[in-house]
Chain A
């Protein structure tokens, strides 16, 4: 293949996309946001565009909107794509920002616990033994993702949960209320200010347990006992500034010998370790005790000044926390969080991580610099405004410009959890009961992912992971490939097989309480009727175009389309019901789908 062929393929790809837009319903609306150039896989300067331009002069580009929603949500169905294309991406973002969380996962877990208690009570059992179960948290997570219109928050919160990592492993799995409340906290802060997010993460008891600054006492040198350094290290390395001094564009600052400059050393960690002493359960009267009840994991930690390290502490950039007398632990923590929050690294460091979760693995320095600028100042002099940050990430030209086929380094591998929610949302997974009782155990075993299920604080994969081969050779990173291996590739294929090729539940159903009978009323299936019908009617091209719009966002190559078409047209007529299923399966395992660009 040479350059000419590639251009030809790009042209074909463009032709197909435009062809689709003509087939879609007539959409009249405000079009796209005004101040950013929008192009789709179809370059909008072609004369054929004239056919689809509406009275207002904008092109309601469904594939571009689908691609946007592929980045900004955990999955969108056809109706959502049409509706957002109609109102425009920026207006949709503003509407999403204005929403309040629909419900709390904590309450959902409690409600299920009450339901279980009720069932025991009515059978004369011992209610005192009823506790929230780990699966309730997963049920609640799916309920939120599938039933609310809070699409952007759902996406951003999942991204934040992969940066501000806590995990069910090894021990929080025993306290699902902690996981639910922590996730509620991330959702609440998704559209707030980064400074508040950092503070709420720091004081959350689940984090206190996970990174062990809960019940961290001041030093007692007489018995060789010193403050725990765990949270001090990770809040710097992972949650705020990273290891090296950065320029606003994410590149490393270099010293006179062209070496990167470390942001902190072990002495700094020991100083910050002193800051995070004296914190314990918010509902306890005594320092150093264990949690008295599961509900303890939902109250922010409190400070016991007696157990807080006294004396001055030297922070970053020469800032010194004064020797407060009397000791004031909360003031110390506030100073330290301000010190981190105002470090110039936060914008490029967290910005790159968020871009990697939402848009692409290898953003350009210019893209990171624009996102950093939005973090540093939202336009009204406010630093850390998450709305401005998210908007800058999603509406940046580099995010919005649709790639050509010869864009060799663009995009990212969709992570397994997002493929899962995408299938469920794109095809309106639903049960008659309206619940999503998905315990996700099989999916977790096969793909290594479920929310708050990472093996360590370093997430399911690291942001700088380089698979051997072309990615590494080109100096690129591809984090999601760290969990892509022979087990997860086959595991995902077989999960997909169950959802699509069989009429299996798309969720791994589980009861709320022992003895609850699960019936067809609880079953969650994909709604594939329309696609199966298209297949049965022999409308194979239309079927593939539909999937290209919803799943691959207009990025399916002509070659992929023809390979799928070949498989479909040879299916015997009396098994025509399998055409739709086969088309979805092949699309969702194709590299054109798995790499979102």
Chain B
């Protein structure tokens, strides 16, 4: 596909209509990607991506617990250090270090000890491996390092040397959506609207809400003669949206509307077929829990939806803690920990063993500076992420948890910005393979930069 660079190429008069109409028509013909020749999988699997938007200070989520390493942490983080006695100790060691979890994350700690949750330490966006702060000056760095808009996008694309709106979840769906070809609904289902992660070259997310059945239809006219009025309206709406327009924006809107109307009917029917869902969630729960509740319901409806692969996405925002870091994280990390635990409990209630088929992971813009700016921290780079589910080999911290002093050679600024020691590609490759992406497609399509990194699996899924 030919991707031209953006910048105002389209003045009213400058571009001839014939060219543009041809382009439109080519697109309407819809170019399907060559599929994996192997037979589509017939088992069920789902992925859940939680975006902690704003940049979680994850060195206060997963931090040292052992004495020597804690002292180093406390010295660097000064007034932002969590008291050693409050940190929840985690089994095992990483890089010879005893680690612990934020005090608000008791549920996550329990899942960790039960073997259903793990962490990948100091992960981040990398174009190629950068071993230390000397190589930092020599090698290619991600575009817009330390900036929200670029880094939040790159965590979703895993292509940090380009600006693009196609995410690796979308690219997986480009390959795998064929396995759901009878569904009529995108296998990428979002509780937080449009997002880069789920946008592929041919697949877009289907957005639902956490209310009711997730997707409400167009309201009926409820007056006398409602039958004919509704019929006339619906016919006109369908005609307006299926018409061909000579303007790309009209055409795009019309296509989206047509898909929305068709998908909604299928989706609602499937959700009603599944009926009520045994749940340990409550209507009073925070949005993240209610979003995960809806995901659990949709997972239970996968059969009715004719889907054996589903990718879910939700955003939990507000992590840009330049200020009031300690108070905010105390609440927000607790929300994350509790919601993930509720989610897996609900899956097991719905169908014992279902948790083994659903893998959840968190992403975030970046880790934050190890040093304080008063009572918050600033944008940095490497951070720690959560992976969870029955398929995850829990009770382990994968990757390499770094030294948290400011003199180690991973530090690229006096503020304590750490070079990631594990690339997002390495983590996502392992998830993608588990999900059923072949090695060929992985390197050629889903994660085009993966071949630049160590191919040894981290081991949290495989």
Contacts and interface: CB of A to CB of B under 8 A. Distances in A.
A275 interface: no
Contacts of A215: 374
A129 to B, nearest CB: 24
A227 B251 contact: no
A585 B18 CA distance: 33
B8 A365 contact: yes
A284 interface: no
B253 A484 contact: yes
Of B204, B215, B259, B378, most A-chain CB atoms within 10 Å: B378
Of A226, A365, A412, most B-chain CB atoms within 10 Å: A226
Interface stretch (B32-40, B192-200, B295-303, B423-431): B192-200
Interface stretch (A195-203, A398-406, A424-432, A529-537): A398-406
Contacts of A324: none
Contacts of B9: 362, 474-476
B51 to A, nearest CB: 11
A109 B260 CA distance: 39
Contacts of A493: 218
Given A410-B10, A469-B27, A483 B53 contact: no
Contacts of B247: 405, 407-411, 591, 595, 597
Contacts of B200: 468
Interface in A77-135: none
A563 interface: yes
Interface string B244-283: 1111111111111101100110000000000000000000
Of B15, B241, B373, B416, most A-chain CB atoms within 10 Å: B373
A483 B194 contact: yes
B6 A475 contact: yes
A226 B414 contact: yes
A169 B318 contact: yes
Interface string A470-485: 1111111110011111
Interface string A1-18: 101001001000000000
B415 A406 contact: no
Contact of A409 (B2, B7, B10, B194): B10
Contacts of B317: 169-170, 455-456
A485 B207 contact: yes
Interface string B1-19: 1111111111110110110
B144 A412 contact: no
Interface in B174-222: 190, 193-194, 199-202, 204-209, 215-219, 221-222
A589 B79 CA distance: 54
Interface string A233-267: 10001000001000001111000000000000010
B246 A474 contact: no
A448 interface: yes
A224 B11 contact: no
Contact of B371 (A225, A237, A465, A557): A225
Nearest to B370: A224
Contact of B233 (A361, A476, A486, A585): A585
Contacts of A227: 373
Contacts of A407: 12, 17, 246-247
B149 A409 contact: no
Contact of B374 (A225, A398, A485): A225
A466 B237 CA distance: 26
A409 B209 CA distance: 32
Contacts of B318: 169-170
Given A237-B147, A487-B209, A464 B225 contact: no
Interface stretch (A157-165, A338-346, A567-575): A567-575
Contacts of B256: 481, 484-486, 489
A3 B17 contact: yes
Contacts of A334: none
Nearest to B241: A591
Interface string B405-448: 01000000111100000000000000000000000000000000
A364 B252 contact: no
Contacts of A366: 11
B249 A478 contact: yes
A126 B27 CA distance: 65
B193 A485 contact: yes
A592 interface: yes
A212 B323 contact: yes
Nearest to B250: A591
A249 B240 CA distance: 37
B1 to A, nearest CB: 7
A563 B373 contact: no
Contacts of A228: 322-323, 373-374, 376, 378
Contacts of B455: none
Contact of B144 (A243, A367, A466, A590): A243
Contacts of B235: 567
A67 to B, nearest CB: 13
B249 A471 contact: yes
A582 interface: yes
A487 B207 contact: yes
B379 A575 contact: no
Interface string B218-230: 1101111100110
Interface string A311-348: 00000000000000000000000000000000000000
A471 B193 CA distance: 19
Contact of B4 (A211, A251, A475, A563): A475
A485 B194 contact: yes
Nearest to A585: B233
B216 A230 contact: no
Contacts of A214: 323
Interface in A342-386: 361-368
Given A468-B204, A501-B221, A567-B236, A475 B406 contact: no
Of B1, B7, B12, B75, most A-chain CB atoms within 10 Å: B12
A488 B256 CA distance: 11
Contacts of B204: 468
A408 B15 contact: yes
B218 A494 contact: yes
B109 interface: no
Of B77, B229, B246, most A-chain CB atoms within 10 Å: B246
A389 B84 CA distance: 57
A493 B245 CA distance: 20
Contacts of B116: none
B95 interface: no
A513 interface: no
A594 interface: yes
B68 interface: no
Interface string B324-336: 0000000000000
B243 interface: yes
B8 A266 contact: no
B224 A575 contact: yes
A559 interface: yes
A406 B21 contact: yes
Contacts of B320: 230, 456
B216 A486 contact: no
A549 B110 CA distance: 64
B133 interface: no
Nearest to B232: A567
Contact of A578 (B76, B229, B259, B372): B229
B117 interface: no
A217 interface: yes
Contact of A488 (B193, B216, B246): B193
B237 A586 contact: yes
Contacts of B240: 560, 563, 586, 589-591
Contacts of B170: 468
3 tightest Cβ-Cβ pairs between the two chains A and B: A364-B11, A409-B10, A408-B20
9 contacts: A228-B322, A228-B376, A398-B11, A458-B148, A469-B252, A470-B248, A484-B256, A485-B205, A487-B208
Given A367-B11, A563-B240, 9 more contacts: A169-B318, A251-B7, A362-B10, A408-B15, A456-B317, A497-B218, A497-B221, A559-B243, A591-B250
